[in-house]
Structure 1
């Protein structure tokens, strides 16, 4: 869901199911059985964490915090201990005592894992030095155009840039003031360069491309979901003054597209609203869901990106538009393979329901929070308290947690960041 990875990683991506769970073909598994490695006790999920350990951990912690669950200390500490000496994070470090890799290998530093970890650790508190070191590293690898690629030095893409914007915002930075050392461009400059304006086809205006293809922009739902909140200066750990009352599917509203400027592009202040209008239209056209943009799977719904679209719409201030994808998910949750055990998928859904004003402990007759808690170590406090009252008292601005994207987004066994960067076609390609 980035910079080109090894053939092994790309082959692994082809084995992803709709829940994003990485697995080997049955025949191969039968012919070459091997014992599953013992996973860290502080880690969420039982699937191989090689490609998404840090990402799914970050998302799970953020979702728990959003609904008033206090995560286990060892889960938070495990995430912090995944940091490399230079401040970056990799997808997963089996042995934190060993130095991180260098170059573009599977154990190399990546902005997606770093951005997600910063958002979680900044939100949970108690790891200020870790967060500061990661922010310093992210600034040091900013591209000339103001954005970020998956690995340092890679071309900027919408998904990676969006994750870093969320990290900067969570850490107390002002993303619009974080300019590249060469080029003096900000993350918003990079994102706006990837957004389709009023000269695009009517159904694609406001969408984001993953990155330019042959100097052209192609609308990409995954990139748009990731970039929507970032264009508004937000991310996973964003906050809104008040959670809205949950809207019913039948009460779904549409988002009106803003006007373009004289150059057929959207002003920075209208960028997020334009993305919301595109998503609103795409969801209406598909009767509530976003289709998969994974090669070979275009004709099936993407539950993950649909949940993240609801999250993005709520975060931008359009909870009425989020009612349509949430209504579809409530009716079709059984089609989301692995959502009962995949912490990333569960976290996406918990965050989307919560940010839209719903009850994540009773969604489609399912306690999503309980399911999420069961994928990791027992929380310090497992039963959500009155989230509205608690958060109003505890947050500096009397605000509640709403979450993005990025990623990403589209979290899978190889991580939302990786999948997003692979998804480069048009919205149905």
Structure 2
């Protein structure tokens, strides 16, 4: 789900989130401090304490999306992060030891890992175990929280829906003890038409968070889609917000909210970081990329064109500085909107991603065959099969949009 994370310093992002975090949402205890030497199979060079599993999952999923076979040790590193009970933490430094009982378990990292491992294949046992764990921590309202025991939020619920779908489950058949489905939970985050957040999905009813982030995630979740999504059937309603009583109607309204927010400049903004010398909002690359995926999946491809073009023209430096998850988000956006990630505004996103970790295996036979038959129009319609936003960090969105280098 996402998500459903544009580049920003992790510490600064955490500061924003602590300030806005709901009182009932406990901050997760950091995982053990990693050693100075990064694991050889891990993508990115930054401290993986809070986003190791997240960024690895997105990197591998993006490679699979464009037909690149990841290095075996990269896949092994991700699979090795799983705890015996099926859950994934954000990161654990020593995978040779059993997970510490005090190590926070992370629904978002688990859901992202499920999507990556399911796409790569050969990891059925690990996927099944993780899905079992996710079902075991479903809240009574049908949704999920970032860490088990917290209140459900739109981001966590949406990315878990994507994981269930990736694993071959029917999300509407996964019910809580009270008989509620994930879609029941999503509807509680949908805002009515009119007002500041007209049609958007908030992070939690009493804690809006960065609304564009939770909305992009929830639009995908409402359609039962994974982080990697393709264009949906054309939504003829456009950007009009209408009264919605179903999750499908709420998804339309969420996409309409995003379309309206993007219409003027082609990009979303994020508030300035604490202590920043420039008080003006800054472009939010990660959430803009996620919005392109959401709009495309909703069938609002026309509304996705302007933000896609803006990303093509402006995101290269951001991706290079932010790392593997940033490259993955852009690849997901290009894939959803029908653009070529190898010529994305003059940038080869695939090469950029590959350079952040162990050299991948050769391209899959399927990808090679598709490349041979490409018509030359620069559109990857047939490539095989999206979470770091400033201010949407560990405590608010539960999706690692704070990429590490």
Q: TM-score, normalised by structure 1?
A: 0.76
Runs of 4+ in 1 over 6 A off after TM superposition: 9-12, 388-391
| RMSD over equivalenced CA pairs, Å | 3.4
Superposed displacement of residue 306, structure 1:
0.5
Q: How does 1:318-329 map to 2 (within 5 A)?
A: 318-329=300-311
Q: Quick one: structure 1 residues 153 and 10, their matched pair in 2 at CA, closer, same or farther if it must change by over 3 Å?
A: farther
Indicate if the aligned counterparts of 2:34 and 2:48 stay in contact, CA closer than 8 A: no
Which position in structure 1 is the counterpart of 2:125?
129
Indicate if the aligned counterparts of 2:155 and 2:399 stay in contact, CA closer than 8 A: no
Which position in structure 1 is the counterpart of 2:225?
234
Aligned: 1:357 with 2:338: yes
Q: TM-score, normalised by structure 2?
A: 0.81
Which deviates more from structure 2 when the two are superposed, residues 381-390 or residues 92-101? 381-390
Indicate if the aligned counterparts of 2:112 and 2:159 stay in contact, CA closer than 8 A: yes
Which position in structure 2 is the counterpart of 1:41?
40
How many pairs does the alignment contain? 365
Q: Quick one: structure 1 residues 62 and 417, their matched pair in 2 at CA, closer, same or farther if it must change by over 3 Å?
A: farther
Aligned: 1:270 with 2:249: yes
Indicate if the aligned counterparts of 1:159 and 1:417 stay in contact, CA closer than 8 A: no
Indicate if the aligned counterparts of 1:54 and 1:82 stay in contact, CA closer than 8 A: yes
Indicate if the aligned counterparts of 2:55 and 2:324 stay in contact, CA closer than 8 A: yes
Aligned: 1:213 with 2:209: no
Q: Structure 1, residues 214-260: CA drift from partner, whole Å, max 9, x if none? A: 8xx68711111111100111122456689x9xxxxxxxx99333631
Indicate if the aligned counterparts of 2:114 and 2:127 stay in contact, CA closer than 8 A: yes
Which ranges in structure 2 are unaligned for 5 or more consecutive residues?
Answer: 4-9, 18-32, 375-380, 401-405
Superposed displacement of residue 388, structure 1:
7.5
Q: 2:289 aligns with which of 288, 297, 307?
A: 307
Indicate if the aligned counterparts of 1:179 and 1:187 stay in contact, CA closer than 8 A: yes
Which position in structure 2 is the counterpart of 1:13?
14
Superposed displacement of residue 96, structure 1:
0.8
**Helix, strand or coil for the counterpart of 2:283?**
coil
Could you tell me how far apart the structure 2 residues matched to 1:35 and 1:310 are?
A: 34
Could you tell me how far apart the structure 2 residues matched to 1:268 and 1:35 are?
A: 41
Aligned: 1:172 with 2:160: no
Q: Quick one: structure 1 residues 165 and 42, their matched pair in 2 at CA, closer, same or farther if it must change by over 3 Å?
A: same
Higher relative contact order (CA 8 A, sep 6+): 2
Which position in structure 2 is the counterpart of 1:420?
397
Q: Structure 1, residues 112-137: CA drift from partner, whole Å, max 9, x if none? A: 11010000001111000100000000
**Helix, strand or coil for the counterpart of 1:291?**
strand
Which position in structure 2 is the counterpart of 1:371?
352
Which position in structure 1 is the counterpart of 2:140?
144
Q: Quick one: structure 1 residues 306 and 75, their matched pair in 2 at CA, closer, same or farther if it must change by over 3 Å?
A: same
Q: 2:155 aligns with which of 156, 159, 172?
A: 159
Could you tell me how far apart the structure 1 residues matched to 2:373 and 2:133 are?
A: 34
Q: Quick one: structure 1 residues 402 and 254, their matched pair in 2 at CA, closer, same or farther if it must change by over 3 Å?
A: farther
Superposed displacement of residue 68, structure 1:
1.0
Q: Quick one: structure 1 residues 422 and 348, their matched pair in 2 at CA, closer, same or farther if it must change by over 3 Å?
A: closer
Q: Quick one: structure 1 residues 307 and 51, their matched pair in 2 at CA, closer, same or farther if it must change by over 3 Å?
A: same
Which position in structure 2 is the counterpart of 1:20?
none
**Helix, strand or coil for the counterpart of 2:397?**
helix
Could you tell me how far apart the structure 2 residues matched to 1:259 and 1:35 are?
A: 49
Q: Structure 1, residues 292-334: CA drift from partner, whole Å, max 9, x if none? A: 1576587111111001111121222222221111111122225
Could you tell me how far apart the structure 1 residues matched to 2:223 and 2:165 are?
A: 11
Aligned: 1:194 with 2:177: no
Which position in structure 1 is the counterpart of 2:20?
none
Which ranges in structure 1 are unaligned for 5 or more consecutive residues?
Answer: 3-8, 17-33, 245-252, 392-397, 424-429
Could you tell me how far apart the structure 2 residues matched to 1:153 and 1:38 are?
A: 33
Indicate if the aligned counterparts of 1:88 and 1:138 stay in contact, CA closer than 8 A: yes
Q: Quick one: structure 1 residues 74 and 419, their matched pair in 2 at CA, closer, same or farther if it must change by over 3 Å?
A: farther
